[in-house]
A and B are shown apart, each in its own frame.
Chain A
Amino acid sequence: MSPEKPQESKKNGLAIFWEEFSRSNFLVIFLAIFTGIILGGVLVAVTTPEVYDAFKVSFFAGIGKAFMTAVNTYGALLTGAIGNPEKIQAAFASGDPLLIRRAINPFFESLVQTTPYIFAGLSVALGFRVGLFNIGAEGQIYIGALTGVWAGYAIPGLPPIIHIPVAMLCGALGGAMWGFVPGLLKAKTGAHEVITTIMMNYIAFRFSDWLLKGPMADPTEVTPKTPWILESAQLPQLFANPIRFHIGFFIALLMAFLVYLLLFKTTWGMELRMVGSNTNAAQYAGINVTSRTVIAMVLAGGLAGMAGANEVLGVNHRLIPAFSSGYGFDSIALALLGKSHPLGVVLSALLFGFLRNGARSMQLTVGVPIDIVSILQALILAFIAAPAIIRTIYRLKTPKHTEDIVSLRSWKG
């Protein structure tokens, strides 16, 4: 935002601030989330039979019941995500360490859910910055988990200080491999990465089904599962049970910082972004678009692969079928919400992680299905992608410079 010019100085400072603020992206992001949550609340209320019963009594009873239903739902979501303050207080008063850990567990569990979102969100965001739409994060997560878990159980005799990085790296390499194929095809033949990454996703699902049933199956199990990873490959947990919070979260933050450095503080990153914002100009400036495209997809795949490795090394400690349940797809919405900036990605990953974890306990306590989170994500994504909707609803001023959140290359490549 450029500062206002002097002729506007007749207005007082607050008005100027408001005008600037209402033109800014932050307000739109905030209102997009806010509107999504309101609409989600409405949906919960209209799908609750008790609300209709209350409407039969009187109109205001109905409205009150609807309002309370939505508030209770989001209340349950919130306490599920950060913990119940009363319980926390009681636990600290009792001084029993196990009780304390149980009371604060929801908060840390949300961070556990956030971690793969950060990795996967960075993957999609990096792609966006280079003008590539990586829908393949889900498949890359699977492959990263496969290679990560393999390194976790098949390489014995390493100390953790070596085994953990090796296993994480294996995960990154697996994902990178899965990103390399669409990247190469895009760069060499112009095959659009949206379609190729979708196809690569399904190939990854089938491939991992096969591996889990056959070559990588734990022979002692009836259902398809891999063996447990060795203790030396487990990402250390910071607290005792039941808190599963592990150092993967900090690795994710480190990766976000590294992606930030790469994109915004190195020549290389500038070239990558230049390919994303204007391919022709980049080519004219002598940047090798082909190699940058491949590198970007490899890096994006590697980041998503780390999300998979993080899950098996830090949380599950083995690989079971359908373990990812949509982290890769959610991360598309997440990266857009974070404006494809590493810091934005971390913040929206926190939002998504807390939502996801909160919704899980909400489903148990008030019986609202967890799928409400997908609905919220879709609504937020729509509003973020079409800020005009939000600006119309709230009568906001249009920004002076319309800035595309993603500048994707044309469909034909």
Chain B
Amino acid sequence: MTTTTTTPSIATSKGMRSRERRRRLIMGGIFLAAALFIWFVFVANITPGAQTTFLMAPGGSSNETADWVFSTGITLNVIAGILALLGVFQVVRGFGKITNSILAVVAILFIFGFLTWATSGGQTNLAGLLRVMVVRAVPLTLGALSGILCERSGVVNIGIEGMMLTAAFVSTVFASLSHNLWIGMLSGILAGGLMGLIHAVLSIKYKINQIISGTVINIFATGITSYLSSKFLQKTSYQFLNEPGMFPQVEIPLLSKIPFIGPILFHHNIYVYAMIILVLFLSFMLFKTRWGLRVRAVGEHPKAADTLGINVFKTRYMAVILGGMMAGFAGTYFTLGSSGRFDEVLTAGRGFIGLAAMIFGNYNPIGSMGAGLLFGFFDSLSVKASLLQVPLPSEFLGMVPYLATIIVLAGVVGKGHIPAADGEPYEKE
């Protein structure tokens, strides 16, 4: 809610201080709660002397790494102890600027503790779990990057899902017809860019509500791809249109031989490497170049940017089209990088989780990849939930990304930075 009150600056800073104090206490409370949860739920529910076994090489990997066996109880107590110490420090002194990083550490430790507990008395393939996590993070992170490009320039994009779907379809057809995966990928990227252009025209030129424009794109993309798919791609007589093939796995020399980490990070198809490169590239472009400064200026204060001679419309058009191309690239992952064929609505809501990853990652490429990896982990875990020693419905693991995003939005762990002019059409005077 916008309250336009003219409070004296002293009162404001006092208010900010009390808010910061509140946040400090809440965070400390979260850390302590995590510690207590481990003690009272995990430690209380293990058989004494139980061992946890993590397999350190993914199934089918040539990389021989010894299993990691350790005592469940001791590990859990150590983790809970660390969390409690961090919590106490946070309550008493506060970590200040690095609080968010500490929160990430707490989250990772807690998840590790959970895995240790859930594996107690059995074994879990940790390397396999993390490998799948990286793979699952790809469409989420790329989707988030698409959102970042658009929203940093001030255009809300909830049409990522539809853009992905269109690109997935187009790339399948073109790759099948040309028997060339690269042509398929390129056509998918262009299709995504075209959807971005439509979004841009509707929301920048015609100034229609950007959420409605995104909804149009989602409904239209779902409709047209399902229509064409059930009319052609799913029919046996048109199977030649639905055989795009898939990008092979590329092993990075030397790096893939590193025990444990090698198979997790350096034995994938090009999409995983592309994700990492694009995240770094976009961070650099957004925060270190003139172009990035302009995009952000247009997203924060278009009028000021205009006054300084930046073409607001052109900048937004470009950002949204690039965002569409990014979503298009993410869409080609589903067909050319993952399933090797197109099926109706195969994106299955990943575009929306990408949107969530963008928010969770605070509109920052690297943060979004972190969020993508976190959500990918739960995705990966929910597949393997039945293999764990504890009964945990995979549906609840699947809820984690959405719950986490709501919690972030609610500002429990501190307000993120939303571009100030996000969602507002610009009127030139």
Task: List A residues at the B interface (Cβ < 8 Å).
Answer: 43, 47, 133, 135, 181, 185, 187, 189-192, 194-196, 198-200, 202-203, 206-207, 209-210, 213-214, 279-280, 283, 289-290, 329-330, 332-333, 336, 368-369, 371-379, 381-382, 385-386, 388-389, 406, 408, 410-413
Contact = CB atoms under 8 A, between A and B. Distances in A.
Contacts of A283: 1
Contacts of B409: 185, 189, 191-192, 195-196
Contact of A369 (B212, B230, B411): B230
A188 B222 CA distance: 35
B422 interface: yes
A406 B209 contact: yes
B364 interface: no
Contacts, number: 156
Nearest to A209: B395
Contacts of B393: 210, 213-214
Interface string B211-223: 1110111111011
Interface in B367-423: 393, 395-396, 398-399, 402-403, 405-406, 409-411, 418, 420, 422-423
A373 B220 CA distance: 10
B240 interface: no
Contacts of A408: 209, 211
B227 interface: yes
Contacts of B158: 135, 194, 198
B359 interface: yes
A329 to B, nearest CB: 7
Interface in B110-155: none
Contacts of A376: 223
Contacts of A280: 2, 4
Contacts of A194: 156, 158, 211
A371 B393 CA distance: 33
Given A195-B359, A377-B219, 6 more contacts: A202-B402, A206-B395, A213-B393, A369-B230, A371-B224, A388-B206
B422 A411 contact: yes
A195 B360 CA distance: 12
A185 B223 contact: no
Given A369-B227, A375-B220, A386 B208 contact: yes
A400 to B, nearest CB: 18
B42 interface: no
Most chain A beta-carbon contacts within 10 A, residue among B216, B393, B420: B216
A297 to B, nearest CB: 14
B154 to A, nearest CB: 9
Most chain B beta-carbon contacts within 10 A, residue among A192, A199, A209, A406: A199
A382 B216 contact: yes
Contacts of A329: 215, 218-219
Kindly list the 5 A-B residue pairs having the minimum CB-CB distance in the complex, ordered from nearest.
A374-B223, A411-B423, A378-B220, A191-B409, A210-B395
21 contacts: A181-B406, A185-B409, A189-B411, A194-B156, A194-B158, A194-B211, A195-B355, A196-B406, A196-B409, A200-B402, A206-B402, A213-B395, A280-B4, A369-B226, A372-B223, A374-B222, A376-B223, A378-B223, A385-B209, A385-B216, A411-B156
A332 B227 contact: no
A230 B293 CA distance: 63
A338 B218 CA distance: 20
Given A192-B409, A206-B398, A210-B396, A411 B418 contact: yes
Interface in B322-364: 349, 352-353, 355-356, 359
A298 B216 CA distance: 26
A232 B202 CA distance: 50
Contacts of A198: 158, 352, 355
B330 to A, nearest CB: 18
A192 B222 CA distance: 25
A374 B211 CA distance: 17
Nearest to A290: B1
B219 A381 contact: yes
Nearest to A378: B220
